[in-house]
């Protein structure tokens, strides 16, 4: 089985998921404020299935979503995942994040996502990485912009029910060449 690499940034440890992460992750996923820009809070079983899928992605692809630790505390996830739906821009790999509320507003999502982009371009060898979020999620837009990603437009997310308020999504993209030209990988 693949050993999930640990990545350390100034304030974060991006690491393999542990059994003890499941409880705090489920509490975070049940928080309606954390899940505001997704279709709904997740029940515990769905949250656990999410962790299981992340472990499978690492084993099958050599990349995935890391558990994020801040000062020894579980804070959420950040990393890379394949698109699981069909759209004009898929197949694609997404950089994504979800942090618990106590960790919002201090640049931790940007810091973790920057490390994930560096891993995707420098270690995995991806040519481009995308990110998407609900049109209503302006905080995530700002993270994407801070990462140097360029807005490509909007789309209706096929995994979100028709007429759901978070179905309209924005799409951002960054290529490996643009990443390196911006000096972001160093």
Q: In the predicted model, is pLDDT for residue 1 greater than 80?
A: no
Task: Give the tens place of pLDDT for each residue, 21-64.
Answer: 999 999 999 999 999 999 999 999 999 999 999 988 898 999 99
Own/partner pairs, 38-41, CB within 8 angstroms, 24+ separation: 38/134, 38/166, 39/160, 39/161, 39/164, 39/166
Task: Give the tens place of pLDDT for each residue, 122-181.
Answer: 999 999 999 999 999 999 999 999 999 999 999 999 999 999 999 999 999 999 999 999
pTM: predicted TM-score of the whole model, two decimal places: 0.95
Structure confidence at residue 183 as a pLDDT band (50, 70, 90): confident
Q: For residues 97 and 112, is the Cβ–Cβ distance under 8 A?
A: yes
Structure confidence at residue 2 as a pLDDT band (50, 70, 90): low
The pLDDT score that the predictor gives to residue 186 is 43
**Strand segments (E) across the chain:** 7-8, 13-15, 65-70, 73-82, 93-99, 128-134, 150-156, 168-175
- Residues pairing with 173 in the sheet: 130, 150
The CA distance from 118 to 124, in Å, is 9
Which has the higher per-residue pLDDT, 81 or 3? 81
Q: For residues 119 and 80, is the Cβ–Cβ distance under 8 A?
A: yes
Is there a cis peptide before residue 91, judged by omega within 30 degrees of 0? Answer: yes
Q: In the predicted model, is pLDDT for residue 18 greater than 70?
A: yes
Q: In the predicted model, is pLDDT for residue 185 greater than 90?
A: no
CATH fold of 7-181 = Aminopeptidase (3.40.630)
The structure tokens listed for 3 are 């050993």
User: Within 10 A of 10 (CB to CB), how many other CB atoms are there?
Assistant: 8
């Amino acid at each position: 089985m693949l050993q999930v690499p640990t990545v350390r940034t100034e304030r974060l440890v991006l690491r393999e998921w542990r059994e003890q992460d499941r409880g705090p992750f489920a509490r975070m996923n049940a928080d309606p404020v954390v899940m505001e820009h997704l279709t709904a809070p997740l029940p515990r079983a769905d949250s656990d299935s999410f962790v299981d899928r992340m472990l499978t992605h690492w084993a099958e692809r050599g990349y995935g979503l890391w558990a994020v630790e801040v000062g020894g505390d579980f804070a959420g996830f950040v990393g890379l995942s394949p698109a699981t739906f069909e759209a004009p821009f898929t197949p694609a790999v997404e950089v994504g994040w979800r942090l618990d509320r106590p960790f919002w507003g201090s640049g931790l999502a940007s810091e973790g996502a920057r490390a994930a982009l560096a891993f995707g371009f420098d270690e995995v060898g991806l040519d481009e990485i995308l990110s998407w979020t609900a049109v209503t999620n302006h905080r995530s837009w700002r993270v994407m912009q801070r990462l140097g990603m360029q807005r490509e437009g909007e789309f209706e997310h096929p995994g979100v029910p028709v007429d759901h308020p978070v179905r309209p999504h924005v799409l951002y993209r960054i290529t490996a060449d643009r990443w390196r030209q911006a000096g972001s990988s160093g």
